[in-house]
């Protein structure tokens, strides 16, 4: 096996999207263009302890590959979490950390003749943001793309401006915002999204209730909390009758 290459990541900007979820923009320091596929992740070595378990954390790359070596992570703060405490309380603009990768097979399918469901909760939207940015730049030929994004309240919503742009610019795209602890949306934001009170499962079940495409044309990509993924797999496979090959997922947290 070739030796593992560790790349320096220099922090250039922090965007505080919500009280508990921030975006961290890095420059990957390399003389060459750093190549990756939207949806892949990097493993970072953080200055947070002596042992690997204390130092190594993996984060999905939250932006498409624009060939400019910019890397974005979307990170939620977990009280007492070693890594998130470092990002929220210690790292400063100009600081450098190390990363290796890219890794992962949670990427857009090569078969474009599909009805694609991107189902996520919280920062699980990160790999999908990269995928949708890629579609925005290059176009796509999927029959349809449905983003179903679950969060507690509208105040917890991240990437709202991006979602508004996808609603207006992406062909055959629809976004669905599921608020588990808020009855209705406060404002019409993101513009063009459909809102639901409850969890993501009710949204995709409602959309699929009147499906007009052959069952084999659907592909479900899931990213987020383990409980959501477990329930979605059971619902899609056992209740709705989709095959296991039509369900892909990436756990985090």
User: Collapsing DSSP states into helix, strand and coil, what is residue 176?
Assistant: strand
Alpha carbons 125 and 74: distance in angstroms, whole number: 9
Q: How many domains does the chain have?
A: 2
Closest CA to 236 of 250, 251, 249, 253: 249
| Backbone φ, ψ for residue 148 (5° rounding) | -120, 110
Residue 108 lies in a domain: no
pLDDT in tens, 36-64: 999 999 999 999 999 999 999 999 999 99
Tokens of 72: 């974005």
pLDDT in tens, 148-204: 999 999 889 999 999 999 999 999 999 999 998 877 666 677 889 999 999 999 999
- Where is the domain boundary, 68, 83, 103? 103
Instruction: Please check whether residues 149 and 240 belong to one and the same domain.
Output: yes
Residue ranges making up the domain that contains 120: 115-251
Burial call 83-98: b when 16+ CB within 10 Å, e when fewer: bbebbbeebeeeeebb
Q: What is the pTM of this model?
A: 0.94
Instruction: Please check whether residues 119 and 98 belong to one and the same domain.
Output: no
pLDDT in tens, 1-41: 678 899 999 999 999 999 999 999 999 999 899 999 999 99
Q: What is the DSSP letter of 237?
A: I
Closest CA to 61 of 13, 145, 127: 127
């Amino acid at each position: 096996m070739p030796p593992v290459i560790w790349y320096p990541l220099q922090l250039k900007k922090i965007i505080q999207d919500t009280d508990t979820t921030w975006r961290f923009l890095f420059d990957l320091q390399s003389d060459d263009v750093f190549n990756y596929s939207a949806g892949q992740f990097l493993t970072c070595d953080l200055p947070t302890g002596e042992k690997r378990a204390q130092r190594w954390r993996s984060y999905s790359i939250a932006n498409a590959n624009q060939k400019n070596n910019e890397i974005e992570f979307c990170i939620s703060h977990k009280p007492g979490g070693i890594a998130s405490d470092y990002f929220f309380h210690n790292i400063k603009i100009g600081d450098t950390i190390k990363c290796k990768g890219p890794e992962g097979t949670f990427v857009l399918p090569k078969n474009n003749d599909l009805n694609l469901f991107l189902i996520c909760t919280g920062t699980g939207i990160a790999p999908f943001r990269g995928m949708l940015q890629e579609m925005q730049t290059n176009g796509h030929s999927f029959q349809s793309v449905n983003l179903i994004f679950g969060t507690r309240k509208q105040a917890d919503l991240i990437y709202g401006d991006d979602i508004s742009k996808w609603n207006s610019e992406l062909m055959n795209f629809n976004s669905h915002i599921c608020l588990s602890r808020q009855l209705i949306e406060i404002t019409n934001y993101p513009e063009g999204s459909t809102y639901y009170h409850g969890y993501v499962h009710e949204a995709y079940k409602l959309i699929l209730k009147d499906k007009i495409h052959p069952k084999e044309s659907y592909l479900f990509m899931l990213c987020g909390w383990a409980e959501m993924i477990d329930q979605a797999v059971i619902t899609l496979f056992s209740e709705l009758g989709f095959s296991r090959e039509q369900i892909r997922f990436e756990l985090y947290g």
